[in-house]
Amino acid sequence: MRPWVRNIPLPEPHLIGLGVGLAAGSVEQWTLPLPAWLRIAGLSLPIGGLVLATWATRASRDTRLAHPDQLIVHGPYAASRNPMYVGWTLAYLGLASGWLLALLPGVLLAMHVAVRHEERRLLALFGQTYSAYAATVRRYI
């Protein structure tokens, strides 16, 4: 397995939201009455989100994200402390039906709780270095 492959995250909040949304959609269809141009424009969201998540994965390829030995501050991490989560959220939005949008607040809350947990862990691991990074780079966008 290539070293960077181990950093491909499983975005649990997004996957749970997708699973619940698809299950609900199989019971009761709920589509949003969006104009065709907006549906077509929405296709760029999952593509852009997956590109961002891939870029973040590649930028972090020299460390194990589950047990980091260094703080990643280059590539998309120079603009966002959580570019993978931002990417997965964009992909989720691009796939969104009525059910997925209804579940979005819960998905975002669960993601935020996970991010806060990760931030505490990174602060414990990297101390002042992480504090300085967090002070200059936004959490999401």
What letter does residue 3 receive in the DSSP assignment? Answer: G
Domain chopping of the chain, boundaries: 35-136
Please tell me the total number of residues recorded for the chain in this structure. Answer: 141
Report CA-CA distances (Å) from 105 to 51, 52, 70, 123: 23, 22, 32, 27
* Range ranked top by mean pLDDT from 10-14, 40-44, 75-79: 75-79
Residue 1 has pLDDT above 60, yes or no: no
Query: At 138, which amino acid appears?
Result: R
Q: Is the model more confident about 117 or about 65?
A: 117
Say what the pTM is: 0.87
Percent pLDDT > 70 in the chain is 94
pLDDT band at 118 (very low <50, low <70, confident <90, very high): very high
101: which 2 tokens? 């949008």
The whole-angstrom separation of Cα 116 and Cα 121 is: 9
Residue 4 has pLDDT above 70, yes or no: no
> How many contiguous H segments (helices) and E segments (strands) does the chain have?
6, 0
DSSP SS3 for 67: coil
- What is the pLDDT at residue 66? 81
The whole-angstrom separation of Cα 86 and Cα 141 is: 8
What is the average pLDDT across 84-113?
A: 93
- What is the pLDDT at residue 30? 84
The whole-angstrom separation of Cα 124 and Cα 122 is: 5
What is the average pLDDT across 34-62?
A: 89
Residue 92 has pLDDT above 70, yes or no: yes
- What is the pLDDT at residue 38? 83
